[in-house]
Amino acid sequence: MPFELFLDVRWILVISLSSMTFGIVSPLVLSRRLLFLAGTLPHSALLSALLAIILDRALSIPSQLGSLILSVVLVAMVLRMISRGLRPDVATAIFLSLTVSLTALSLYYVITSFPVRESIWSYLVGDPLLVTWEDVSYTALISLMVLGINLPLLERQALIGADRDFVKISGVKVSLYDLITALSLAIATVGLLKIIGFILEHVMILLPGITAASLSRSLRGFLLQAFIISLLGGLGGLVLGLLTGLAPSGCIGLALLSIYLVSSLGRGGR
């Protein structure tokens, strides 16, 4: 009997949309020189999701809205520290200490107080194969928001990352772009947490931009290659997961890492 690979169109859509979203977020993070912060963003997303569950039960605030607001506040807080002169690694260390500690407390409280263990599991590893059409619509909304906010502004964001002081004295309201960055990162990491998962978000935020930066010779090429690398890694990992019976989220991470290693070898290890 010939082997047949079953692909649900919903799986393809959510992985494609999520990959395209991180294909924009990753070069944004690299352009703004926020790699230290990028590694901690999933922590803030997970913390926001857990706190939102508590707020939903206590005050009937919709969890998706609550998690988004909380995440924007957390990311804006660390960007504010950096903009006021604190070294990015120091600000990130403070931010990580706060979010990890509060996440441990919130996770323990939610697990012991509310019957939502399955949802917590999906926050950690993602559930791309269990999505509904409602999830597809929600993912499409998140993707459109992030793409719509950032595509027209990526070049100026790169300039701010290259020379923040020069851009500021040129009359650009850098604080506004900081807010846009915080909003974009919060929307992407919180909005796609249940699809991609806390663990994989670390990889998808970092590797597409890093890989593209090592290959491209222009800003436009960098942005385009990061977008393509993220999309190829997402869809390739999905197919690999279905072929092997392994978690697609883990396979996506391995696919992105493989793309980086192949590109590194092609450059002679430079």
For residue range 142-200, what is the model confidence (pLDDT) as tens digits? Answer: 999 999 999 888 888 888 888 888 888 888 888 888 888 888 888 898 889 888 888 88
244: left (phi over 0), alpha (psi -120 to 50) or beta: alpha
pLDDT at 178: 83
108 CB-contact burial (10 Å; exposed 0-12 / middle 13-18 / buried 19+):
exposed
How many structural domains compose the chain? 1
Closest CA to 201 of 21, 10, 5: 21
pLDDT at 254 over 90: yes
pLDDT at 86: 84
Segment 42-56 shows an average pLDDT of 88
Other CB atoms within 10 Å distance of the CB of residue 116: 17
pLDDT at 63: 80
Range of the domain at 70: 9-202
Give the Cα separation of 252 and 254 in Å (integer).
Answer: 5
Q: Does 266 map to a domain?
A: no
Q: Does 239 map to a domain?
A: no
For residue range 65-115, what is the model confidence (pLDDT) as tens digits? Answer: 888 888 888 888 888 887 788 887 888 889 889 999 999 999 888 888 876
- Max mean pLDDT range (43-57, 181-195, 230-244): 230-244
Q: Does 219 map to a domain?
A: no
1 CB-contact burial (10 Å; exposed 0-12 / middle 13-18 / buried 19+):
exposed
> Which residue would you say has higher pLDDT here, 143 or 247?
143
Domain of residue 122, CATH code: 1.10.3470.10
The whole model's pTM is what? Answer: 0.85
Q: Does 257 map to a domain?
A: no
Closest CA to 69 of 187, 192, 197: 187
Q: Using 50, 70 and 90 to split pLDDT, how confident is the model at 3?
A: very low
Q: Does 69 map to a domain?
A: yes
Q: Does 177 map to a domain?
A: yes
Q: Does 165 map to a domain?
A: yes
Q: Does 269 map to a domain?
A: no
